[in-house]
Amino acid sequence: MDSDSNDDQTVYELTPMNEKPHDDTEWAMKPEVVGYKARDRASGFPDRELGVTWTNLSVDVIAADAAIQENSPLKTILDNSHGCVKPGEMLLVLGRPGSGCTTLLNMIANMRRGYAGIKGDVHYGSMIAEEAKNFRGQIVMNSEEEVFYPALTVGQTMDFASRLNVPFHLPEGVTHEELRVQMRDFLLRSMGIQHTVDTKVGDAFIRGVSGGERKRVSIIETLATQGLVFCWDNSTRGLDASFALEYTKAIRAMTDVLGLAFIVTLYQAGNGIYELFDKVLVLDEGKEVYYGPVEEAKTFMESTGFICQHGANVADYLTGVTVPTERQIHPDYQQRFPRTADALRAEYEKSPIYEHMRSEYDYPTSQIANERTKSFKEGVRHLKDKRLPDSSPMTVGFIEQTKACIIRQYQIVLGDKVVFFIKQFGMIVQALIAGSLFYNATSDSSGLFIKSGAVFFAILANSLIAMSEVTDSFTGRPVLLKHKAFAMYHPAAFCIAQIAADIPIILLQVTLFSLIEYFMVGLTSSAGHFFTFWILLIATTICITALFRAIGAAFSTFDAASKASGFVITATLIYSGYFIHKPLMHDWFVWMFWVNPMGYAFDALLSNEFHGKIIPCVGHNLVPSGPGFNNGDHQACAGVGGAKVGQNFVTGDDYLASLSYSHTHLWRNFGIIWAWWVLYVAITIYFTSKWHASSEDGPSLLIPREHAHVSAVLRQSDEEGQTKGEKKMTGSRDGGVVSGDETDSSDSSGGSLVRNTSVFTWKNLTYTVKTPQGDRVLLDNVQGWVRPGMLGALMGSSGAGKTTLLDVLAQRKTEGTIHGSIMVDGRLLPLKYVDTIIDLLELHDLAHTLIGQVGAGLSVEQRKRVTIGVELVSKLSILIFLDEPTSGLDGQSAYNTVRFLRKLAAHGQAILVTIHQPSAQLFSQFDTLLLLSKGGKTVYFGDIGEQAKTISGYFGRYGAPCPEDVNPAEHMIDVVSGHLSQGKDWNQVWLSSPEHEAMEKELDHIISDAASKPPGTIDDGHEFVTSLWEQIKLVTYRMNVSLYCNIDYVNNKFALHVILALYNGFTFWQIGSSVGELQHKLFTIFNFIFVAPGVIA
């Protein structure tokens, strides 16, 4: 770099993209990809290559404070971006969270909903974005979150994905099923998870595969679409460094062989990953500050004055130059380096790289693009079922879609057997309760009301269970949205599959209920009457299930759907004809009877029971009655609907007629119930087809109105403070550069923290669980310690037992067998320092910000800091365990998180952290490393050393030296899971090493020394720090604050109270004092006390 002139520019020798060599032969499965490609060509399949180009692309959104400020301006989150990714190229997109990376990927993936304004052009080959909508399955995006049905196994998940992506025209000599199994097995092997085929995917509540394995399932499910343009949003989150590199090698090989276009955003990408890409695009505040070859990016940034430390990850360096507090400036450039995103973009636009990249922007109009697009369309037609219209983005026909969805729906039910059996057991219990309540009802006038109640309860019990469909509609919605974006199936296929899965379950449910209640109550003992009751109840249950499913589909928020379903269940129950007979309904609400399937069902069921019966009047229904009035010839019925003058009985048909019912309506009503079902299914299909993700408006902070101004001022002052000065250059223990606040371990934030003096140790720790294949060892004689002020790293490949070790040490395991000793010489510290912790973790500016949800609230990095703070405030233990605190964070956020942990360690905390993909700078912040291999076996425990010299020296002595320019952390993972792990048992190497012997002696010395001294902390015998009364007060206050912040929830409850009260009042308007109307008073009180509160709750 020339420091004498600001106008001097570095001369670049640019490498054409199509001539850049890639050494991706290390990926063992590349020959298989080559073989599949050759097979397709031999079968005469047209080549499918597309690519994507965008020019002058700008995106505006409504600002997050639009609800607070009047005339809030639009916010530009992507400003005048350009780029071109041709077939066979890979683009890496870098930027801090909020810089517009995900927005750019959304635009490239043609996902435009939720943005206020979009300018510029995006071409796919030579197609415009509007035309590309018909090829949705060829342009796909893999989001950061893993969304699955947790009850399905990995194999079932991939069976479904592969079943819906088998091409219509098959290669020669391969059947449909053979190709599907081949595709599934290849994808499972490509990500190394073939061993998890029979393991559930799982989630936070259902035990399943590990987080890293779940991420790999997400990757291969996306690859199963056989798309051509792939957008990956932080696709390596949760993967260890070795497998993240393997994943990148895999997509590199697929890109080269199949002519795909990959656009990827990655956080904490190592140099090995970075070098596999063709181009890199750097965003800052939505502005494109660099776009060009990966080889030239570092040189360009250095030419503008930004220093790249030796051994640093280039990707983190490129992102770091956009952060005023992180970037480091060469002394000769202190007065003239580009301080803002606009200035840096201006520097880039003056470089020869900019001019070189501009020459690609006319690719959509080139002849090769037109030819590739034409061949692409022919190839897609070759893949698609010939019965599908040209505008359909699906691959398989609608019948195959429906079949696949039905199979999956049954797998979901069988995968969660506990819920299924609980529901059936609940129906049995309710049937027994109803049968005992209406037990052996008589066949005279005294049994009319009892039998009517039994019939109504049969409808009620099955209808209330159907309300769960509203909740299920929202729990399954994210998966459907993902598959809709992948063009796997039409939402109608999903809806039909739900119906197909409903039928056997409802048959069993209604059969169990009917057999118990029908005969306990003593309804008509006739096969014809029973099966009529049974089939009517089945039809009604299916119809009401479809009704609540339609309600769930019609609303975008659960609060709104629950409000509607609460009102609907109340209305349908009241106007079914049991609470108020049809002739007594008020004119303004009588229409609710005619649009109520329960009303038709109640009519039909009563007609089935009472038609053709002679019902004698007894008791108070017979007048005159009493002693001396025993001659029936001189008695008549009274108070029974349908009774005729002079008769001491009433016919069932007359009784039905008094209710405006007729047996001739029975099968008509049966047909009407099915007609309503058809309508509800149509509504469900229509609204399901219109679903879209609720977070498509982009991420934003949620700030209460009363704190909005203060938060805005704090954020503005913080931003101004950052731009006033760059990162101070001070020495650190690794010879690098750290910011000034890192070196001050005695700042005011820690003045109130009590320093810990206790030591936490674990020795010969073994953890075994029982599996169908026998006992499985997850931890094998693991030993180690954490001292006060020590920051320890726990690393290993995916599935090595890192999280398991933390759970065992934290005594969170409730199953399995644990051997060994876990010792601590202290007790929980009974002090709280909320303000101290907020300052320590630099959360002061966010103190009044709502947590919200991911995408609408705090960012991932801010959430992790809050989580650490909660642990510190709630139970200031002598040891803090953190499982993947940097996973999903960009390099700067990860560094900040570890910097906060370093500050905690400096104030006496003992911290043990599991960590994936740490950069060299991140790795150097830790004191010790516990490295585990598969099976929970120890590979190394001890000091890391300055610039990782200690641990590098250890592995160097045993045949695995760390190359000079390689990140030591990545090298460690490669030792336990990469090529360095082949042919050598590193656990045995460790057990026979002098370092292991020295470690055991040190561990024994630590334990004996701690035991010989008074404990640093004494267990006071209390499980909780505060008293029960104090806990009640604090939890009550928290719940009140939570309710106050959840406006939708409060409004929902308030609206339901008011609406149901008005509804109940107008339904039972001005009840009189007659004998018949007294019953209405009972019902309105019953509805007020039981029905409405139950629905509202």
Q: For residue 1088, give both structure tokens.
A: 């007020």
Closest CA to 584 of 1085, 1068, 1078, 1060: 1068
Give the model's pLDDT for residue 499.
94
Distance CA 172, CA 169 (A): 9
Give the model's pLDDT for residue 723.
39
Residues in a beta bridge with 284: 287
Residues in a beta bridge with 910: 879
Average pLDDT of the chain is: 81
Give the model's pLDDT for residue 267.
82
Write the CA distances from 198 to 154, 213, 279, 410, 771, integer angstroms.
6, 13, 39, 16, 12
Give the model's pLDDT for residue 882.
78
Domain range for 99 is: 25-372
Distance CA 639, CA 1077 (A): 12
Maximum average pLDDT range among 341-350, 1010-1019, 1061-1070: 341-350
Number of other residues whose CB lies within 10 A of the CB of residue 443: 16
Closest CA to 968 of 956, 958, 959: 956
**For residue 482, is it within any domain?**
yes
Closest CA to 155 of 184, 190, 186: 184
Q: At 517, is the pLDDT very low, low, confident or very high (cuts 50, 70, 90)?
A: very high
Report the percent of the chain where pLDDT is more than 90: 36
Q: Which residue has the higher pLDDT, 662 or 1010?
A: 662
DSSP conformational letter for 264: E
Report the percent of the chain where pLDDT is more than 70: 80
Q: Are residues 286 and 154 in the same domain?
A: yes
Distance CA 813, CA 816 (A): 8
Domain count, the chain: 4
Please determine, for residue 17, whether its predicted confidence score (pLDDT) is greater than 70. Answer: no
**For residue 653, is it within any domain?**
no
278 with 251: CB under 8 angstroms? Answer: no
Closest CA to 495 of 550, 564, 539: 550
Q: At 51, is the pLDDT very low, low, confident or very high (cuts 50, 70, 90)?
A: very high
12 by DSSP, 3-state: which?
A: coil
| Domain at 68, CATH number | 3.40.50.300
Backbone angles phi, psi at 24, to 5 degrees: -105, 15
Q: Are residues 957 and 1058 in the same domain?
A: no
* Dihedral (Cα; 340, 344, 345, 348), 10-degree rounding: 180
Please determine, for residue 122, whether its predicted confidence score (pLDDT) is greater than 70. Answer: yes
Q: Are residues 348 and 496 in the same domain?
A: no
Q: Are residues 977 and 1069 in the same domain?
A: no
Tokens 């047909």: give the residue: 671
Distance CA 190, CA 224 (A): 12
* Dihedral (Cα; 933, 934, 936, 941), 10-degree rounding: 0
264 with 277: CB under 8 angstroms? Answer: yes
Closest CA to 337 of 11, 9, 6, 10: 6
Domain boundary residue among 957, 978, 1012?
1012
The H or E element containing residue 74 is strand 74-85
Is the backbone peptide bond immediately before 624 cis, with ω within 30 degrees of 0? yes
- Strands (DSSP E) contained in 918-1030 are 928-933, 937-943
Strands of 52-62's sheet in order across: 127-128, 117-124, 52-62, 74-85, 287-293, 279-284, 89-94, 261-265, 229-233, 139-142
- Greatest Cα-to-Cα distance within the chain, rounded to the nearest angstrom: 127
Task: Give me the DSSP letters along 605-626.
Answer: HHHHHHTT-EEE--GGGEES-S
Look at the chain and count its residues. Answer: 1097
Cβ burial of 959 (10 Å; 0-12, 13-18, 19+) is exposed
Distance CA 365, CA 773 (A): 60
Work out the average pLDDT over 63-74.
58
Long-range contact pairs involving 473-479 (C-beta distance under 8 Å, separation at least 24)? 473/549, 473/552, 473/553, 473/561, 474/552, 474/558, 474/561, 476/149, 477/691, 478/147, 478/693, 479/147, 479/148, 479/149
Write the CA distances from 728 to 298, 308, 812, integer angstroms.
21, 15, 42
Work out the average pLDDT over 177-195.
93
Give the model's pLDDT for residue 731.
36
**For residue 280, is it within any domain?**
yes
- What pLDDT digit, counting tens, does each position of 943-954 carry? 988 888 898 889
Amino acid at 568: V
899 with 945: CB under 8 angstroms? Answer: no
- What pLDDT digit, counting tens, does each position of 475-514 carry? 889 999 999 999 999 999 999 999 999 999 999 999 999 9
Query: Which residues have C-beta within 8 Å of that of residue 1089, sequence separation ≥ 6?
Result: none
Q: Are residues 532 and 564 in the same domain?
A: yes
778 with 936: CB under 8 angstroms? Answer: yes
Q: For residue 201, give both structure tokens.
A: 């995917």
**For residue 732, is it within any domain?**
no
Please determine, for residue 877, whether its predicted confidence score (pLDDT) is greater than 80. Answer: no
R_g of the chain computed on alpha carbons: 35
Maximum average pLDDT range among 530-534, 760-764, 879-883: 530-534
**For residue 949, is it within any domain?**
yes
- What pLDDT digit, counting tens, does each position of 368-386 carry? 999 999 999 999 999 998 8
**Alpha-helix runs per DSSP H in 384-490:** 398-415, 417-437, 448-466, 468-475, 477-485
CA triplet 94, 96, 102: central angle to 5 degrees?
65
Q: Are residues 136 and 166 in the same domain?
A: yes
Across 819-836, b (16+ Cβ under 10 Å) vs e yields eeeeebbbbbbeeebeeb
Q: Which residue has the higher pLDDT, 628 or 513?
A: 513
Distance CA 333, CA 356 (A): 26
Give the model's pLDDT for residue 732.
37
Work out the average pLDDT over 663-673.
94
Out of 97-111, 120-134, 538-552, 864-878, least confident range? 864-878
Q: Are residues 954 and 1041 in the same domain?
A: no
Closest CA to 350 of 304, 306, 314: 304
207 with 200: CB under 8 angstroms? Answer: yes
Distance CA 354, CA 359 (A): 9
Out of 23-32, 196-205, 239-248, 1071-1080, least confident range? 1071-1080
Tokens 């009189």: give the residue: 1072
Q: For residue 492, give both structure tokens.
A: 């109608």
Amino acid at 527: A
Out of 12-26, 503-517, 951-965, least confident range? 12-26
- What pLDDT digit, counting tens, does each position of 292-331 carry? 999 999 999 999 999 888 777 899 889 888 888 778 888 8
**For residue 952, is it within any domain?**
yes
**For residue 977, is it within any domain?**
yes
Q: Are residues 932 and 1072 in the same domain?
A: no
Q: Are residues 297 and 414 in the same domain?
A: no
Distance CA 321, CA 323 (A): 6
794 by DSSP, 3-state: which?
A: strand
Q: Are strands 89-94 and 279-284 parallel, antiparallel or unpaired?
A: parallel
- What pLDDT digit, counting tens, does each position of 395-438 carry? 999 999 999 999 999 999 998 888 899 999 999 999 999 999 99
793 with 843: CB under 8 angstroms? Answer: no
Distance CA 870, CA 838 (A): 10
| Domain at 883, CATH number | 3.40.50
Q: At 961, is the pLDDT very low, low, confident or very high (cuts 50, 70, 90)?
A: confident
Please give the span between the terminal C-alpha atoms of the chain, in angstroms, as a whole number. 69
Q: For residue 523, give both structure tokens.
A: 């309804």
196 by DSSP, 3-state: which?
A: helix
Give the model's pLDDT for residue 434.
92
Q: Are residues 338 and 464 in the same domain?
A: no
Q: Are residues 209 and 274 in the same domain?
A: yes
pTM (two decimals): 0.78
**For residue 907, is it within any domain?**
yes
Query: Which residues have C-beta within 8 Å of that of residue 1046, sequence separation ≥ 6?
Result: none
- What pLDDT digit, counting tens, does each position of 710-763 carry? 444 444 434 333 333 444 443 333 333 333 344 343 444 444 555 566 788 888
Q: Are residues 86 and 175 in the same domain?
A: yes
Q: At 599, is the pLDDT very low, low, confident or very high (cuts 50, 70, 90)?
A: very high
